Amino acid sequence: MTKIIFEKSIKGMRGEILTEEPVNVDFIDKKYLRKNDFLLPEVTELEAMRHFKELSDKNFCIETGFYPLGSCTMKYNPKVNELLASLEGFCALHPLQEDEDAQGALELMYKLQESLKTITGMDAITLQGSAGAHGELCGMMIVKHYFKTRGENRKKVIIPDSAHGTNPASAGMCGFEVVNVPSNEKGQVDVEELKKLLNSDVAAIMMTNPNTLGLFEENISEIARLAHDAGALMYYDGANFNAIMGITNPKIMGFDIVHLNLHKTFSTPHGGGGPGAGPVGVVEKLKEFLPVPVVDFDGEKYFRKYDLKNSIGKIKEFWGNFNVLVKAYCYILMTGKSLKSVSEDAILSANYMKEKLKKHYKLPYDVPCMHEFVLSGDIQKEEGASTLAVAKRLMDYNFHPPTIYFPLIVHEAMMIEPTESETKARLDEFIDAMIKIAQEIKENPENVLHSPHNTPVKKVDETQAARHPDLRYRTDA
């Protein structure tokens, strides 16, 4: 096991010394100055580098192995994306540079906006959002402001019971009352129940399509018609957009607002706290409500446009997470019209895995899925090991566990999304591991319950670890 860096400390060891001259600290208030020596490990620069390299080797990432995190689209990020995002003209450009001196960056942003308009069917795009939930918040702010300008005080937002948790959170942050609509026996929105909830107090319906079960909402056109007849707006959560690129789009389905997760659908690295990007697209009647600035082109130069009549203002400092925008645009240019095949391959992978695994795990909705599917660990729970145990055991096989216990409408849920990045051989390895774990549970559930066995950190008490983490280094330990 890797030692902590203090355990590698040897008295007198040191790295490079930048200066022997005393540092002038007269400008700092004396109450902020340290009175005692502070504890630092004493190691050479080489030992410090080795230590952090050892730590990095313990990280799990998409380059380490399969990452089938349902609803999070952990796909491969081509390294050319990183190369282009690191070009000096992009990464060294100050965000407060005048438009005349930032034409390259503005051109890229404008063309990305135009590409996303084509892909989503929307009429206008903002690139400011820094993540999916941030895009949702932006969308709900637009909904709120739209009805305010119309003199309507609509208070409710309808959200399916299978929705991502960020949906009710975003609506709630904008002061809306969240109303859940149940799913039917097919795992889709129950249209008859929806009809009972729609009235002049409803501002919007927030939906993901395909939904979090990986199922396409076959009544989406009727749902959109019902919403619009009631004067409400349709909001599209783009978390599952990887399933529909080039096949259909939110505009065709009847949505008025959509957010995209560039850091998921368009290959930018995802997870670890960011950075992300959550552009928001709107239909024509809502374009004046977008946050400012948007990037525009007058035929000669690209510029940041601020004069939107009903803009909700600015939602992020500067203009968005620009390096993520570069990578996403690079991915779109490389993929081109093959975006459709990306979604088709993701759908094929998911259905292949579903059919292989449904013989060994409960499949709540045994129908063709889109880019992901949800299994239940009910059978394994009855045999002595929960879904959490299955997820932990997968780590011993060098697979990141899928999303578990979500969506909430499936008991002991395992939400699996293979994406289009993985080969059939890799999918088969995961399938074999899942089958082996199911067999292990039948024969020796205790072994699975105490997993993982091969990771740097073994089985832990999750509740204690979350509530009482001990992050201190004790010299008396």
pLDDT of residue 106: 97
pLDDT of residue 466: 87
pLDDT of residue 476: 47
69 DSSP 8-state letter: B
Closest CA to 353 of 338, 374, 381, 383: 374
Give the three-state DSSP class for 382. Answer: helix
Instruction: Give tens-digit pLDDT for 295-340.
Output: 999 999 999 999 999 999 999 988 889 999 999 999 999 999 899 9
Residue 371's pLDDT band (boundaries 50, 70, 90)?
very high
Instruction: Give tens-digit pLDDT for 188-230.
Output: 999 999 999 999 999 999 999 999 999 999 999 999 999 999 9
pLDDT of residue 84: 95
pLDDT of residue 26: 86
First to last CA, the chain: 17
Instruction: Give tens-digit pLDDT for 37-83.
Output: 778 899 999 999 999 999 988 888 888 899 999 998 999 999 999 99
Instruction: Give tens-digit pLDDT for 167-196.
Output: 999 999 999 999 999 999 999 999 999 999
Instruction: Give tens-digit pLDDT for 256-305.
Output: 999 999 999 999 877 666 689 999 999 999 999 999 999 999 999 999 99
Residue 21's pLDDT band (boundaries 50, 70, 90)?
confident
pLDDT of residue 465: 84
What separation in angstroms does the CA of 215 have from each of 62, 249, 397? 25, 15, 29
- Paired sense of beta strands 156-160 and 202-207, if any: parallel
Is the pLDDT reported for residue 475 higher than 60? no
Is the pLDDT reported for residue 477 higher than 60? no
Give the C-alpha separation, 220 to 225, whole Å. Answer: 9
Edge-to-edge strand list for the sheet holding 202-207: 124-126, 280-282, 257-260, 233-238, 202-207, 156-160, 177-181
CB 330 within 8 A of CB 83: no
Burial bucket for residue 9 (CB in 10 Å: 0-12, 13-18, 19+) = middle
pLDDT of residue 275: 83
CB 428 within 8 A of CB 97: no
The domain ranges of the chain are 5-57, 71-477
What is the fold of 71-477? Answer: Aspartate Aminotransferase; domain 2 (3.40.640)
Average pLDDT over the chain, rounded to an integer: 93
Is the pLDDT reported for residue 473 higher than 70? no
Instruction: Give tens-digit pLDDT for 87-119.
Output: 999 999 999 999 999 999 999 999 999 999 999
pLDDT of residue 2: 74
Residue 1's pLDDT band (boundaries 50, 70, 90)?
low
